[in-house]
Amino acid sequence: MKYKSQAVAKPYFIAAIALFLGQILFGLIMGLQYVVGDFLFPAIPFNVARMVHTNLLIVWLLFGFMGAAYYLIPEESERELHSTKLALVMFWIFLAAGVATILGYLLVPYATLAEMTGNNLLATMGREFLEQPLPTKVGIVVVALAMLYNLSITVLRGRKTAINLVMLVGLWGLAIFFLFSFYNPSNLVKDKYFWWWTVHLWVEGVWELIMGAMLAFVLIKVTGVDREVIEKWLYVIIAMALITGIIGTGHHYYWIGAPEYWQWWGSVFSALEPIPFFMMTVFAFNMVNRRRREHPNKAAVLWALGTGVMAFLGAGVWGFLHTLAPINFYTHGTQITAAHGHMAFYGAYVMVVITMISYTMPLMRGREANSPFAQVIEMWSFWLMTISMVFITLFLTAAGILQIWLQRIAEEPISFMAAQDQVALFYWMREAAGVIFLIGLLLYIASFFIKGKAATAVAT
């Protein structure tokens, strides 16, 4: 850690991990509700559990991105953060807003919550992933703008590198496209059309810039490869991501009332969306292979490589599986989408945030890397979480294929609920894999508390 102000990332990362744990617990509740329908009903109905699960994911990833930005931008800009105090204040505001929102979901009926929070003035709630009450949405914008002000000033006054510029562009894009969450026309088709401008242009657009910048930053640090090389590949990869991803939004416009030509535009461009992810995988492995130093933080290297592979599998391969319109006609809105969503979010965004945490946390705690034993535990958690996520994806894919067959293709299609009963076995197996994931996550958290002799750099 070169600059004192970088330490402000620490509370962000701690909050991220805590909320991650909450997300997984609610995931397990939902997984069980899939097979034991009345579990926790009416205390926590499925829709509430799901809202908590997905919103926690978004909030903790945002915590992760913000923490990463506060860590890497001072280092890249070669100066202290413009205002550490502002960053800390924003942390507490965001945490309070996040926790209050989750408690609101859990303790107040959603319709009452909507009324209490001014949803009748400007109705924005009740749309997937954007369920947050108006004050929370405004809070997200305020926190994001304060952060962007803080970071932009830092970059403007300091060194400009590809990494901090791309990170900044990504974060600005994140804030700008979130503004579409305030637009909720009563025309359902328009509502859905622009809803994707937040959701798709986040996860298959500007978030990829943030991810690329974070990965590039860690790779420079742990491999010692020339910055020039890493930065130009970063540009090429994210260029590919946006070239394919922006029009790739069209793969969401097939069946929501938009013109039919989106079936062609969406299919062609999203068929190419795996390319940037593949490049990222090759890039990560190449850089590690031509490393000029042996970084003692082996766990961080493992997470970085894992991000490349799992992002390609989850976002690239599983996305491609059902992105072509004639296939999507059958898979749209089934467990196939759930399978893809789980592995893509884990592989791309969860893992890149953990990569960043894994690399920076030891530094913020005054050592270059954790003790070998702590790293072994962390690597165990890597494998447990990653492999169980592969299985969650496989089980959901199997459930999805069977569901599609029974409900949409068979000679005598059966109803949704009848099909759900038929695929229950896969839901049980998914839940079991989910428990393994939780164990992996608990090990990961435990690895932070393991002391031991600090590792020193080993030169080979």
Structure tokens at 21: 């744990």
Question: How near is the Cβ of 302 to other proteins at its closest, in Å?
Answer: 21
Helices (H), 158-226: 162-178, 188-201, 207-223
CB of 393 to other proteins, least distance (A): 14
Task: Kindly tell me the burial class for residue 309, based on how many C-beta atoms sit within 10 Å of its own C-beta (0-12, 13-18, 19 or more).
Answer: middle
CA separation, residue 168 to residues 10, 113, 148, 202, 345 (Å): 20, 34, 8, 14, 21
Cβ closest to other proteins, residue 170 vs residue 306: 170
Shortest distance in whole angstroms from residue 32 CB to other proteins: 11
DSSP alpha helices (H): ranges in 224-297?
Answer: 227-248, 262-271, 274-289
Provide the residue type at 100 as one letter.
A
> Which pair of tokens denotes residue 217?
């930053």
CB of 67 or CB of 266, closer to other proteins = 266
Q: How many helices (H) and strands (E) does the chain have?
A: 19, 0
Nearest approach, Cβ of 156 to other proteins (angstroms)?
17
Residue 458 beta carbon to other proteins: minimum distance, rounded to whole angstroms: 24
Residue 158 or residue 245: which is nearer to other proteins going by CB?
245
CB 76 within 8 A of CB 164: yes
Return the closest-CA partner of residue 53 out of 32, 34, 25, 95: 25
Do residues 167 and 107 lie in contact, with contact meaning Cβ atoms separated by under 8 Å? no
Residue of 414, 347, 353, 421 lying closest to 385 (CA atoms):
347
Minimum CB distance to other proteins, residue 200 (Å): 11
Using the minimum distance from each CB to other proteins, give the nearer residue, 84 or 244.
Answer: 244
d(CA 378, CA 325): 41
Contact status, residue 162 vs residue 234, Cβ threshold 8 Å: yes
Minimum distance between the CB of residue 227 and other proteins, rounded to whole angstroms? 9
In the complex, least distance from residue 219 CB atom to other proteins, rounded to whole angstroms: 13
Write out the two tokens for 90.
Answer: 């924003």
CB of 197 to other proteins, least distance (A): 9
- Tell me the angle at which helices 134-157 and 162-178 cross, rounded to the nearest 10 degrees: 160
**Smallest separation (angstroms) from other proteins to the CB of 374:** 33
Q: Smaller CB distance to other proteins: residue 137 or 192? A: 192
How many of the other CB atoms lie within 10 Å of CB of 433?
20
| Cβ at position 49, least distance to other proteins in Å | 8
Least separation, in Å, of the C-beta of 117 and other proteins? 11
Query: Which alpha helices (H) appear in 36-133, and where do they start and end?
Result: 46-77, 84-107, 110-116
The long-range contacts involving 119-128, CB below 8 angstroms and separated by at least 24 positions, are 122/182, 123/184, 124/181, 124/182, 124/184, 127/181, 127/184, 127/191, 127/195, 128/54, 128/195, 128/199
Instruction: Closer to other proteins by CB, 49 or 354: give it.
Output: 49
- Residue 445: CB partners within 8 Å, gap ≥ 6? 17, 21
